[in-house]
Structure 1
Amino acid sequence: MRLRGVSRSFGGHRVLAPLDLDLRAGSTVALVGASGCGKSTLLRLVAGLDTPSAGTVEVAGQPVRGVHPRTAVVFQEPRLLPWRDLAGNVAFGLPRGTARAAGREEVLRWLEVVGLEDFAGHRPRRVSGGMAQRTALARALVRRPGVLLLDEPFAALDALTRLRMQDLLDEVQRGTGATVVFVTHDVDEALHLADRVLVLGKDGNDDEAGARVVRDLVVDAPRPRDRADAATARLRVELLDLLGVPRTA
């Protein structure tokens, strides 16, 4: 994935300064920063859900114009169709032209991967928030995306479910080799999952300057990771300091 001179303005307000980024295929990249700094805007540009004011976004060497067929998106809310059961919601993500039998097999496979094979016939109102979000993840993965984009996908979940979903995402990414870009406010989540953490922010007090990448942090630790690893603990202090949460005495 490549971004060249990508910026976004709304009216006279610049949200993103011109950005140049290269994201390696098969890597996991976290976008962190203060609320309103443009993380979700950047993700939408990569997804093809929005258009840059300037610059170009490329996936696999092709310019992104609209939703790219190799891309799937998971939002903060599951956004399931209430009149469809879980299998039907996952099937909604199948690529066009998928044969019925093959599609059914793929849907059941991904429901099994996310641990919901026994709930395929349940409607969304009958399952928990964590199960609904796992369904949304399966709906994205059934597309077999080359690029998986997630906008704070676990923010609304309880702490224990969130940790389990993080481990599931990590396992799935390592199994499929997809390029993953996700927005999060959780520093620990970023360090547990990402190969790179991009910190978005602004220089100085110029509100019209637009956000840029103020720190590109490489997390040089093998995955799956131990949450108690001392190396990531040191990076946590650095990230929190960049985000305006310095270590107390």
Structure 2
Amino acid sequence: MVLRGVGRSFVNARGTHRVLADVDLVVEAGSTVALLGASGSGKSTLLRLVAGLDLPTAGEVAVGGEPVRDVSDRCAVVFQEPRLLPWRDLAGNVALGLPRGTPRAEGRERVAHQLGTVGLADFAGHRPRRVSGGMAQRAALARALVRRPGVLLLDEPFAALDALTRLKMQDLLDDVQRGTGATTLFVTHDVDEALHLADRVLVLGTPEGAEGARVVRDLRVAAPRPRDRGDAELAAHRVELLELLGVPRHA
């Protein structure tokens, strides 16, 4: 995944608002990258550009060496809300992620496999209203994985979950990513989540005097995965990232 000079501006009644400016980024295949930044810093906008849900007003986004012009089967997206159809059971919702033209028998096999991957094999026939928020989000993850994407994009996928469920979902995502080898880009406001999951943590911000956010820190996390949440190296990175986000360390 490569971004070259990417910018995104929006025009409103007060003029042009530049959200992103001159973003240059190379994401290695099979790696996991977290996007951190204050609200409004362009994290979700950047994710949408990679997904092909929006187009840049400057520069170019390329996935697999090909420019992103539209939504591609190479990518799958998991949003903050599960967005499950209430009249379909979990298996039916996961099946919505299958690429068009997938043979029926193969589709059933892939859906069953991914429901098993996320621990929902025994709940395939349940409607969304009968499962917890964490289970619904697992179904949303399975719906993305059933595409067998080369690139997995997640926009604050665990933000609506309680703290304990969120930690379990982080571990599940880590297991899934390492198992599939998908290149993963995810947006989060949670510094600890970023450090637990990502090989690199990118902080988006707008330097003083500039217009439009860009990458102001590219932090490589060397600790092997799966990670110990009590790792001293992660604690040091946490202090640095919080300070970049405007939360200073107090004496």
- Taking structure 2 as the reference length, what is the TM-score of the superposition? 0.97
Equivalent residues in 2 for 1:129-144, closer than 5 Å? 129-144=133-148
Matched residue SS, 1:35: coil
Match of 1:198 in 2: 202
Distance (Å, rounded) in 1 between the aligned partners of 2:39 and 2:105: 44
Match of 2:241 in 1: 239
* Residues 137-176 of structure 1 deviation map (CA, whole Å, 9 limit, x = unaligned): 0000000000000000000001111001000000000001
How far has the Cα of 1:20 moved from its partner?
Answer: 1.0
Distance (Å, rounded) in 2 between the aligned partners of 1:205 and 1:55: 21
* Residues 163-196 of structure 1 deviation map (CA, whole Å, 9 limit, x = unaligned): 0100000000000100000000000000000000
Q: How many residues align?
A: 247
Are positions 1:220 and 2:215 aligned together? Answer: no
Are positions 1:188 and 2:192 aligned together? Answer: yes
Distance (Å, rounded) in 2 between the aligned partners of 1:104 and 1:160: 32
How far has the Cα of 1:37 moved from its partner?
Answer: 0.5
Distance (Å, rounded) in 2 between the aligned partners of 1:50 and 1:143: 20
Runs of 4+ in 1 over 3 A off after TM superposition: none
Match of 1:147 in 2: 151
Percent sequence identity over aligned pairs: 79
How far has the Cα of 1:95 moved from its partner?
Answer: 1.1
How far has the Cα of 1:205 moved from its partner?
Answer: 5.1
Match of 2:6 in 1: 6
Letter in 2 for 1:238: E
Distance (Å, rounded) in 1 between the aligned partners of 2:37 and 2:5: 20
Letter in 1 for 2:121: E
Equivalent residues in 2 for 1:65-104, closer than 5 Å? 65-104=69-108
Match of 1:60 in 2: 64
Distance (Å, rounded) in 2 between the aligned partners of 1:246 and 1:215: 16
Distance (Å, rounded) in 1 between the aligned partners of 2:22 and 2:233: 32
Distance (Å, rounded) in 1 between the aligned partners of 2:20 and 2:220: 22
Matched residue SS, 2:71: coil
Match for residue 176 of structure 2 among 166, 172, 186: 172
Distance (Å, rounded) in 2 between the aligned partners of 1:102 and 1:69: 17
Matched residue SS, 2:80: coil
Match of 1:17 in 2: 21
Q: Aligned-residue CA RMSD in angstroms?
A: 0.7
Are positions 1:46 and 2:44 aligned together? Answer: no
